[in-house]
Amino acid sequence: MTAETETPRTTGSCCSPTGSCSDEAAEAPSDGVTTVYEVTGMTCGHCEGAVSEEISALEGVTSVTAEASSGRVTVTSAAALPEDVVRAAVDEAGYELAGRA
């Protein structure tokens, strides 16, 4: 078989030109750990922002969604967070962590 008659391989797949899969595609990043907390005292968007800001500053936190209407705060982090660390962040924002929802 000559180079002119070989079928070209497409790019953008997880496989290398030799047909073996690369380690990079096999090691896709995980989404982390998502935990929902109950926070008392939030009544508005400003409250949501204050709680979100303090929790977002914690090491490993990738996402925070606070909802004043339900009192729930959803936190996604690289690893599980110690509850006392989350409690301290919520306290710093001026609210109270009731625990996990």
Residue-wise pLDDT for 7-63, tens only, equals: 444 444 444 444 444 443 344 446 799 999 999 999 999 999 999 999 999 999 999
Cα angle: 82, vertex 85, 90; to 5 degrees: 130
Given phi > 0 = left and psi -120 to 50 = alpha, else beta, which region is 81? beta
61-78, pLDDT tens digit by residue?
999 999 999 999 999 999
Which residue range forms the structural domain that includes residue 68?
A: 29-100
Domains identified in the chain, total number: 1
Amino acid at position 14, single letter: C
Query: Is residue 10 one of the residues assigned to a domain?
Result: no
Query: Is residue 23 one of the residues assigned to a domain?
Result: no
- By the 8 A CB rule, do 89 and 54 touch? yes
Amino acid at position 37, single letter: Y
Q: What is the pLDDT of residue 13?
A: 40
**Banded model confidence at residue 89, pLDDT cuts 50, 70, 90:** very high
Query: Is residue 13 one of the residues assigned to a domain?
Result: no
Q: What is the pLDDT of residue 1?
A: 52
Query: Is residue 9 one of the residues assigned to a domain?
Result: no
Query: Is residue 20 one of the residues assigned to a domain?
Result: no
Given phi > 0 = left and psi -120 to 50 = alpha, else beta, which region is 86? alpha
Q: What is the pLDDT of residue 14?
A: 41
- By the 8 A CB rule, do 25 and 14 touch? yes
Cα angle: 41, vertex 44, 50; to 5 degrees: 75
Exposure letters 12-30 (e unless 16+ CB within 10 A, then b)? eeeeeeeeeeeeeeeeeee
Query: Is residue 2 one of the residues assigned to a domain?
Result: no
Q: The domain that contains 96 carries what CATH number?
A: 3.30.70.100
Query: Is residue 47 one of the residues assigned to a domain?
Result: yes
Query: Is residue 96 one of the residues assigned to a domain?
Result: yes
